[in-house]
Amino acid sequence: MGGAAFDQGVSDLLASYRAIPPHATVRLAKKTSNLFRKRAANPHPGLDVSGLDRVISVDPEARTADVAGMCTYENLVAATLPYGLAPLVVPQLKTITLGGAVTGLGIESTSFRSGLPHESVLEIDILTGDGEILTATPTNEHADLFYGFPNSYGTLGYSVRLRIELEPVKPYVALRHLRFTSITDLQSAMDTIVSSKTHDGEPVDYLDGVVFSANESYLTLGRQTDDNGPVSDYTGMDVFYRSIQEKTTDRLTIHDYLWRWDTDWFWCSRAFGAQNPKIRRWWPKRYLRSSFYWKLIGLDQRFDIGDRLNARKGLPPGERVVQDIEVPIERTAEYVEWFLTDIPIEPIWLCPLRLREPALPGADPVRPWPLYPLAPQRTYVNVGFWSAVPVTPGDPGHTNKIIERKVAELDGHKSLYSESFYTPEEFDELYGGESYRLLKKRYDPRGRLLDLYAKAVKRQ
């Protein structure tokens, strides 16, 4: 991208901020999103972030990158892989932005050893609600903003530039798919692998899992390797998640491994018929990607296509159940078995995570990230499920509400990218209410940005 292009992008951003009426809420002028909750239309111009969508520079010696806030992980990985480097955590979908993953959380199969994307940020320039761009680091005068920014979803400001750590990666990833007929056995094996970072004497660099049913689930173990050899391709006719059931071992290039889930949006492309071999044969390869499925989702939201098709079949409309939740690893089998019994959705994704050790200098040793307070030295498992169930008449969000209650009962959290139904008191307890209010008072005293509860629950 270069410094001059970045500087112009910053100038355009600030000019767009000044053009927003003083009484208006400040929002992004962004055409795409990876959020699954509806938002109220913005009647005013938004922030112009179109010039902040690239990598500024890569320092292969220091293993760092300076990245504009709206740079997608697809562009970020394309800039770092030629140096044999990658971000420590690369979320699953190509169009997720680095800034979005930091302010809204992200996760992937390195999270059991590298935590979440915000834990590899070294410093961040943030445009606050007052129109100032502040540099926040773990130890400077804006350290409170640095630690409070994750899970704030743009309500404390927007990332302009981030400096992140990178790690060396090898050209290939060798996979092993371990099958389990018991969720409890899978939980035990996952716990052991997270602790030792090995299995059967081999290192484990990547770890996630898929549950197809109570008696068919898998852990996928990835190991970086330099060894040449044949590799699989899941960007055409073959579907990655189906290969988990069919193979015990596999190999991918590091590029294709990082984007293994994007081609079919995990398994959600089946809703559009893209996994039907007769349709897939004619489906343009450039449209086998999450960004195109997002466009189809947008059309569905705009015209209620799914509900109309259900009505023609005599079926009720659907309640969207699109969520990622975290529960402590020792409660994972309990949660998954409950889910499989009570919620008619499959498959589901599992991804273990732990906060990085040691934590960044200056971090609170008890709750280093106040708006999403995971406990240090404790393993959690992200459970992802993305589908719809029949609506419950007279109770909007019925299924999502019972999921929220179950997750809270098991000492867990859920991500806020989708619909939420918490009371203000519940939300405060789970998402750092008092810490958030202090940050809001300091960095957005005029309330130019939305409140987190209003944005995540009221969907303003």
Q: Which tens digits make up the pLDDT trace of 319-337?
A: 889 999 999 999 999 999 9
Residues counted in the chain: 460
| Lowest mean pLDDT across 170-174, 281-285, 315-319, 446-450 | 315-319
CA atoms in the 13 A half-sphere facing the CB of 232: 21
Domain that holds residue 146: 3-169+451-456
Quick check: is 303 in a domain?
no
Count CB atoms within 10 A of the CB of residue 432.
22
Quick check: is 112 in a domain?
yes
Quick check: is 398 in a domain?
no
- Residue 37 reports pLDDT greater than 50: no
Residue type (1 letter), 207: L
Contact between 123 and 221 under an 8 Å Cβ cutoff? The reply is no
Residues 271-285 have pLDDT tens digits of 889 999 999 999 999
Type and span of the H or E element at 145: helix 143-148
| Lowest mean pLDDT across 31-40, 77-86, 123-132, 393-402 | 31-40
Quick check: is 309 in a domain?
no
Residue 398 neighbours by CB under 8 Å, 6+ apart: 319, 391, 392
Between 313 and 88, residue with greater pLDDT: 88
Helix segments in 247-304, DSSP class H: 254-258, 277-280, 290-303
Quick check: is 306 in a domain?
no
Give pLDDT, residue 366: 53
Question: How many structural domains compose the chain?
Answer: 1
Residues 289-312 have pLDDT tens digits of 998 988 888 766 665 655 555 666
Residues 141-170 have pLDDT tens digits of 999 999 999 999 999 999 999 999 999 999
Contact between 305 and 298 under an 8 Å Cβ cutoff? The reply is no
Neighbour-count burial for 367-406, b at 16+ CB within 10 Å, e otherwise:
bbbbbbbbebeebbbbbbbbbbbebeeeeebbbbbbbbeb
pLDDT, averaged across the chain:
91
Give pLDDT, residue 174: 98
Torsion, Cα of 124, 93, 212, 109 (10° steps): -40
Quick check: is 115 in a domain?
yes
Residues 349-398 have pLDDT tens digits of 999 999 987 656 555 555 579 999 899 899 999 999 988 888 888 888 99
Question: Which CATH number covers residue 132?
Answer: 3.30.465.10
- Residue 423 reports pLDDT greater than 50: yes
Quick check: is 211 in a domain?
no
Percent of the chain with pLDDT over 90: 75
Contact between 136 and 124 under an 8 Å Cβ cutoff? The reply is yes
Quick check: is 395 in a domain?
no
Contact between 253 and 230 under an 8 Å Cβ cutoff? The reply is no
Give the position of tokens 């569905």: 300
Name the token pair of 310.
């259900």
